[in-house]
């Protein structure tokens, strides 16, 4: 693989690892939605998609017709596919840098305030007032907890209400930095170093590969 393709593939993924590592090294829990989490991952692997399948299956007739603008069309198609995946996925909340023991008291407090009729069954929870049914999935190895929708009948506005209230309840929560974040930062910095090395090693080869990629 030429230097340009290495840089295209690893650049976005390095940024993804650095951001995710910074989140995990914080002493505060970080709550986000499954949609944003999936979108961030999709952006992180976009470079691999561009350097791999997109170029491999690049329609030559379209490349001749549109020139370098064909890449705008291909990237647009990729991001539309990612958007479709996000929209079709079931609601989910992801809590980084926190354990289930940190989440449960805050979640119980929020649920009691939002709907006294809410029902627990082990790690499953039903909140009729919000139209939300979920189960808790802890990922202890990476200090991560997810609230995942149970079943297709969900109220998206109820999930948004739950997200806002839970984020407010967790605002004063503190913990210890997750050592897993250090690994992510290390991998991110290593990839950034590789990208810088390949760009500086042979700028002419990079320029030539870029011209070929853009069909100039």
Are 69 and 165 in a shared domain? no
Are 134 and 180 in a shared domain? no
Are 181 and 167 in a shared domain? no
Quick check: 213 pLDDT over 80?
no
How does pLDDT run across 103-112, given as a tens digit for each residue?
899 999 999 9
CB burial of residue 174 (10 Å; 0-12, 13-18, 19+) = exposed
Are 102 and 50 in a shared domain? no
Are 121 and 25 in a shared domain? no
* Residue 41: per-residue pLDDT: 94
Are 146 and 190 in a shared domain? no
205: its two tokens? 């080869």
Summarize the confidence of residues 183-192 as an average pLDDT.
93
Q: Where does the pLDDT of residue 185 fall: very low under 50, low under 70, confident under 90, or very high at 90 and above?
A: very high
Are 55 and 133 in a shared domain? no
91: its two tokens? 């609601």
Summarize the confidence of residues 146-159 as an average pLDDT.
91
Are 130 and 187 in a shared domain? no
Are 77 and 152 in a shared domain? no
Are 10 and 36 in a shared domain? yes
Cα torsion at 18, 19, 21, 24 (round to 10°)? 170
How does pLDDT run across 25-72, given as a tens digit for each residue?
888 899 999 999 999 999 999 998 988 888 777 777 777 777 778 888
Quick check: 125 pLDDT over 60?
yes
Are 83 and 186 in a shared domain? yes
Are 164 and 141 in a shared domain? yes
Q: Which domain holds residue 160?
A: 98-174
Number of domains the chain is built from: 2
């Amino acid at each position: 693989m030429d230097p340009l393709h290495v840089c295209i593939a690893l650049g976005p993924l390095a940024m993804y690892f650095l951001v995710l590592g910074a989140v995990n090294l914080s002493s505060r829990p970080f709550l986000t939605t499954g949609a944003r989490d999936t979108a961030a991952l999709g952006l992180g692997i976009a470079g691999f998609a561009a350097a791999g399948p997109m170029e491999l299956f690049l329609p030559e007739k379209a490349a001749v017709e549109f020139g370098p603008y064909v890449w705008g069309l291909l990237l647009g198609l990729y991001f539309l596919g990612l958007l479709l995946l996000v929209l079709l996925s079931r609601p989910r909340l992801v809590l980084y840098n926190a354990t289930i023991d940190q989440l449960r008291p805050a979640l119980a407090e929020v649920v009691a305030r939002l709907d006294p009729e809410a029902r627990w069954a082990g790690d499953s929870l039903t909140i009729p007032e919000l139209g939300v049914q979920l189960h808790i999935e802890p990922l202890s190895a990476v200090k991560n907890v997810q609230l995942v929708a149970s079943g297709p009948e969900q109220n998206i506005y109820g999930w948004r209400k739950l997200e806002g209230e839970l984020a407010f309840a967790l605002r004063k929560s503190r913990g210890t930095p997750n050592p897993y974040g250090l690994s992510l930062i290390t991998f991110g910095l290593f990839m950034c170093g590789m990208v810088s090395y390949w760009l500086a090693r042979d700028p002419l080869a990079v320029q030539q590969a870029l011209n070929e990629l853009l069909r100039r």
